A and B are shown apart, each in its own frame.
Chain A
Amino acid sequence: MILLDRVTKTYGKSTTPALQRISLHVEPREFVILVGTSGAGKSTLLKLLTREEKPTSGKIVVGGIDYDTLKDKHIPLLRRKIGVVFQDFKLLPQRTVFENIAFALEIAGMTNREIKTTVPKVIELVGLTGKEKSFPHQLSGGERQRVAIARAVVRQPKILIADEPTGNLDPRHSWDIVRLLEKINRYGTTVLLTTHNVEIVNRLKRRVVTLEHGKITSDQAQGSYRQ
């Protein structure tokens, strides 16, 4: 599902690469946790996957799409196939919960009828029934992250990338979000989660890939993490 082959990324004229000959293979339906300290290269790796950045060298293939042959005009189509959740939610502040989620379907050209039937199901999946007309500023941090997850999965992507989704949340809400990600993974979506949270990593008992100074230093099938 995700294949990185000897990928290196160096920003500008920097002499130290942010990522150095990274090779990683993620199978369909896998749940992979990416850990590492700040500056280890986690965000760069995710930016390469969403094609916000281009690698300096190496090969990237996601969902069968080879980034070497991907034209700029097709990048929006690639991003519609990948669900992304951010630490700071990145919701549209002037739009309601329903509109934020529907937006992901509208840009894909789905009809109003399809949107009206799909969005309520996803709202129910993330446990936000009754909050459809609320604006993001009227919601708690955990609820906002649920909206972001709903928006990311409403198009039923094959891959969900969650970049520190619990970073701004208290422990109780963090666990709600992690359980939700597990639930989405059980439905068949490949999940790539980055986190600093030791407790979450250790209790999930999933594959853990550790990044340090731009290199993969460990890749454990049922890993743990120590800061």
Chain B
Amino acid sequence: MAKKQTSKQITIQKRRRRQWMTFVRMCRYGVNNFSRNAWLTVAATAVMTITLLSIFMTLSARDILINTVDDVQKKVDLSIYVKTDVSDEAVETIENDLNKLSSVETVTYVSPEEAREDFAKANKDKPESLNALNEATNRFPGTFRVVVKDINDTSQLEKFTKDNQTYRDNRDPNRDPSFSGGGKDTINTIGSWVSLAERVGYVLSAVFVALSSLIIFNTIRMAIFNRKEEIQMMKLIGADRQFIRGPFIVEAVVYGFIAAVIATGAGLGMLMLVQRSLSDFGAAVNSTIDTVTTYIGFVLLAMIVLGAIIGILSSLLATRRYLKI
């Protein structure tokens, strides 16, 4: 049997119903304002779209840059040379020891025979080089090609070349590992480019987000400035701050929503458009497109949330000065 409601419960229920009703009204007014202010709607939505599109493109560009540098980094391997007559057991031991190092990503061993074949293949159109190869008395060394996780951190590998007994017994006396001397400088340069690319990416993203937010904030502020008399009138007939602010916030959220959908579509379209030409230049654009298309729902949701947040903050700041009693 249903319990009889106390007067307190009824009051709470009524208050909740009234709050819900007020919320629905604010949404309705926000949507009405959006649809009835044609020029303002188009202007604000366009600015918001450009804002979100620049954020999308900046983040994508950063992703492409990092992926590209990452690809380049993976192509750079460090070489450790061993004597031509190294035993299979020694090769296996060194390879295993290298693989145990936490800073090592992959290790590939190229035997002297393979190195010779590779050289012959690479120089098949150069008879002089091939003749030199046939006449040469010195044979090719065995090579361990090592890809490290962080190109800036080769200290563990350097330590290995000093401390590992098997390597020390079998090292090629004529060839030092390639990360020492001149090779180290190249590797360091690539490493610092990777860090720079990441930092520049972060800074550029932050600058774009800040600039775009300022632009959209000013657009919404102008829109609200145009309606300051309306706000004044609402105050005078007894509307409270929430009721006045509400529709402006809803309106800004609608701008954000529509702009997010357009910006995501346009951004993805632009990426696909430049996919081929960027790939030809060696930029790793495919993985960015794959990420965006795989997680399109999340990307769209993130853009909508971002647009809504920028819109809400702008509206709150812009209406604040007109809401003083």
Contact = CB atoms under 8 A, between A and B. Distances in A.
A111 interface: yes
A108 B37 contact: no
B173 interface: no
B33 A75 contact: no
A92 B233 contact: yes
B239 A76 contact: yes
Contacts of A50: 236
Contact of B238 (A72, A76, A93, A95): A76
A193 interface: no
Contacts, number: 54
Given A77-B238, A94-B36, A109 B233 contact: no
B22 interface: yes
B100 to A, nearest CB: 69
B22 to A, nearest CB: 7
B22 A84 contact: no
A112 B238 CA distance: 18
Interface stretch (A34-42, A99-107, A167-175, A217-225): A99-107
Contacts of A52: 236
A92 B230 contact: yes
Given A84-B237, A107-B238, A72 B325 contact: yes
A9 interface: no
Contacts of B21: 109, 111-112
A111 B14 CA distance: 11
A90 B236 contact: yes
Interface in B22-40: 22, 25, 32-33, 36-37
A80 B238 contact: yes
Contact of A107 (B36, B230, B232, B237): B237
Contacts of A72: 325
Contact of B325 (A75, A94, A108, A111): A75
A179 interface: no
Interface residues of A, number: 27
Interface residues of B, number: 21
A95 B32 contact: yes
A43 B290 CA distance: 66
Contact of A104 (B36, B230, B237, B325): B237
Contacts of B22: 106, 109
B158 interface: no
A29 B18 CA distance: 32
Contacts of A183: none
B243 A107 contact: yes
The interface centre, meaning the residue of B25, B233, B240 with most chain A CB atoms within 10 A of its CB, is B233
A52 B235 CA distance: 9
B225 to A, nearest CB: 15
B28 to A, nearest CB: 10
15 contacts: A52-B236, A75-B325, A76-B235, A79-B235, A79-B236, A80-B238, A90-B232, A90-B236, A92-B233, A93-B230, A95-B32, A107-B237, A107-B240, A112-B21, A152-B237
Interface of A: 50-52, 72, 75-80, 84, 90-95, 103-104, 106-109, 111-112, 151-152
Pairs of residues from A and B, 10 with the lowest C-beta to C-beta distance, nearest first: A80-B238, A79-B238, A90-B233, A107-B239, A94-B36, A76-B240, A109-B18, A76-B238, A72-B325, A75-B325
Interface of B: 18, 21-22, 25, 32-33, 36-37, 229-230, 232-240, 243, 325
Given A107-B243, A109-B18, 11 more contacts: A50-B236, A76-B235, A79-B236, A79-B237, A80-B237, A84-B237, A90-B236, A103-B239, A106-B25, A107-B234, A109-B22
